[in-house]
Structure 1
Amino acid sequence: MPQSFALASVESNSPSRTCDCLAHRFGNAADWPDRIPCYDTDMTEAEWQVVRESLPVPAWLEGRGSRPEGYCHRQMVDAVRYVADNGVKWANLPRDFPPFKRVHAFARRWQVQGLLTELHDRLRDRVRVREGRSPDPSAAIVDSQSLRAAANIPRSTSGWDGGKKVGGRKKHLVVDCLGLVLAVAVTAASVQDRDAAVPLLERLRAMYFSIRLVWADGDYAGSLVDRARENLRLTLEIVKRSDATTGFVVLPRRWVVERMLLMRSRRLVRDYETLPAIHEAMVLWSMTMLMSGRLAGRRPGAFSQPASRTR
């Protein structure tokens, strides 16, 4: 695990430092004017402190190459949160954020280098501990959701889900008993759930050796149950819907992941991403918003503009 946010180093000599992010302290972010938070997706001071403590240390600060960042980490994170929650194009970012090309490059770099996953996992562990649970889960729930794809989605990574009558992609999620994401994968909608679950459960086993039980619906029944037990030492328990049941019914355990699939982030309602990995990253960004708000005691949609921040 890379080092946490606190790291001893030589700080910048810049006289202006109204933010305590690493880019302001050690980079060139102080050369740009401050931004006044004004959107619902902007982090409050309490929420920023939660995120700041979980931020990964950039490579340039550890002497592993790259160069100091020129834009405030808080502004960059707020900009990506704005895109994820409102579903706008990168080019349509409001002008009070850093240039959209820099924000997109920041989000892409964090996705490729695993920094986003590191931030997400740290926040998830803190939420689990706060709820009185161990950071290492022992059970999980798996499910999928088919999404319509935008016109820019390559045909090589999209397909048709005959069961749901949806053309596009399919999002496969593994969550813990609190509904927090453990693993996510995006495939073509034509990929069967049990086929996509094989590499997903293998990744889950490699990441969380403590997990012993996974709940799933009837689409995962069959040879996958035996394969999970023999090769991965996982008990895959199928929670089936009764044939006599009509209408919507809350099923034991499965409702947790069903609730998770109903994300409020507009960027996740439809797949606009050319690469499946970018949609996976948007799922993690959406979850970081949910978890940081929960840790900071922030109600959904609530925002209080700090009076002390000026341009």
Structure 2
Amino acid sequence: MAELLKIKSEVDEFKKEYFHRNSQAEENRQREYQAANRIQSWFRACKVRAYLSRLHKKAIIIQRIWRGFTARAGFRQMVKAAYFIMKMNFYEAMAVRIQQRWRGFFVRKHIHNYYARKSYLEGLSKKNELVRMELAELEELQKRERDCVEMVKEQTAKVYQAHRLHHLLSTKQCPGVFNSPFRPAPHEMEILLRQVKYQAPTRLDPRGRACLMGMLGPTAPSFPGTLGSPWIKTSGTCCSSKPILPPISSKKQQMNRKYAPPSESQQQFLYSASLRQEL
């Protein structure tokens, strides 16, 4: 009886153990199934990622090859275009050079004759030399004429001054200003005073006062027949009026006056200054 009870208790314990172990196995099976699913998903993901990466690398290789091919083709096209442009430029330059040579040859042979041009230039140079010589001769002639006119003016001025200073001519009793006894020979003005004749002085207008210093005016009177010089013209020009000289007959009147007018004193001052310059 005791053994039966013992066996019956062992059976209950066995059932309990079996149930417990079946529940644990079920739990372990669910855990193992989830772990297997996780492992399978990870493995499959690794396989897919490896496949996608391989595909990506192959796509990159294909793109690289295609882009290199298209770039090389475009570069070849650019090289061909540049070579064509360079060749056309070279052909154009050669064509221009050929045209230049041909046109130069044609112009030199048929339009502009070299020897005719050379002869024309030689004749032109000779003509230029002749023109230069003629111009030089004309300039020399004009210079001589100017010198002659200057000499005539100077001689006329000297004659006019001699007419003005004729009262300073030396006499036997009183030697003149230009015939000093200390000179070995008489002055040039003294000789000129001996050659000209005396003329009565007239009043000088303001335009002819410049002739007091021996300068020529725009309209000076001429003195024909006074000096036998070839340089004196009968229709020459000097001051418009003769200088004012103190008349001989008016000296007593001047002595009777208390003072001289300002115009007369100014004229006397200019006259004395001209004498100083001549001396």
**TM exceeds 0.5?**
no
TM-score (normalizing by structure 2): 0.19
**What TM-score do you get using the length of structure 1 for normalisation?**
0.17
Larger fraction in helix: 2
Instruction: Report which of the two structures shows the higher radius of gyration computed on alpha carbons.
Output: 2
Greater strand share, structure number: 1
